[in-house]
């Protein structure tokens, strides 16, 4: 296994642990859900900041002008069904299946899907229904897109030899 594979495995172990734990156990879920929510907020903030920083970002120009109201329940359901069907093994897909299912999507497309799914979730709380201690299918798909974006960021850092510098600065307290 190469160093990129090791780094990717470590990354997935860190970021996937809370979600896999939530699927397997039904106890102590409040702490795990809080941990997962905090991670999602931090990741969304990083994602938003990096996306907005680019001159050709998804948040500039027409993308924001087109969003006027929440999508219909039928549209949310249809898009969720389509997008989840493109993910082999969903909702219990492996990392390889998730990478295969998102390979054709750009980061901007995944960011737009995350935003759309969040709009659907906010407008139609019934889409968040799930068994106690488990994530809803909609949240699982949302979380999977977030993980794939994080993986691409990590691969970018690794490709350009920036991982060591990142860890070095983090150890020095530069956050």
Q: What is the pLDDT of residues 90-101, one digit of tens each?
A: 989 999 999 999
pLDDT of residue 132: 77
Would you say residue 5 has pLDDT above 80?
no
pLDDT of residue 26: 40
Would you say residue 156 has pLDDT above 70?
yes
Global pTM reads: 0.60
Would you say residue 14 has pLDDT above 70?
no
Range 132-157 burial, b when 16+ CB lie within 10 A, else e: ebbbbbbbbbbbbbbbbbbbebbeeb
Which positions ≥6 away from 163 have C-beta within 8 Å? 7, 154, 157
Domain ranges of the chain: 71-175
Instruction: Compute, in degrees rounded to 10, the torsion defined by CA atoms 99, 112, 114, 110.
Output: 10
Q: Is the separation of the CB atoms in 22 and 29 below 8 Å? A: yes
Torsion sign across C-alpha atoms 120, 41, 43, 136: negative
């Amino acid at each position: 296994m190469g160093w990129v594979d090791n780094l990717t495995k470590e990354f997935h172990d860190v970021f996937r642990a809370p979600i896999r734990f939530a699927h397997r156990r039904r106890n102590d879920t409040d702490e795990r859900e809080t941990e997962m929510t905090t991670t999602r907020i931090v990741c969304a903030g990083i994602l938003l900041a990096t996306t907005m920083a680019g001159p050709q970002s998804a948040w500039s120009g027409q993308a924001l002008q087109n969003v006027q109201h929440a999508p219909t329940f039928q549209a949310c359901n249809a898009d969720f069904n389509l997008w989840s069907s493109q993910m082999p093994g969903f909702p219990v897909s492996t990392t390889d299946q998730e990478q295969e299912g998102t390979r054709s999507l750009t980061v901007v497309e995944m960011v737009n899907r995350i935003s759309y799914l969040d709009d659907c979730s906010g407008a139609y709380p019934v889409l968040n229904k799930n068994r106690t201690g488990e994530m809803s299918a909609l949240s699982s798909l949302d979380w999977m897109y977030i993980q794939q974006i994080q993986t691409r960021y990590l691969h970018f850092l690794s490709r350009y030899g920036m991982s060591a510098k990142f860890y070095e600065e983090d150890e020095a307290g530069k956050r």
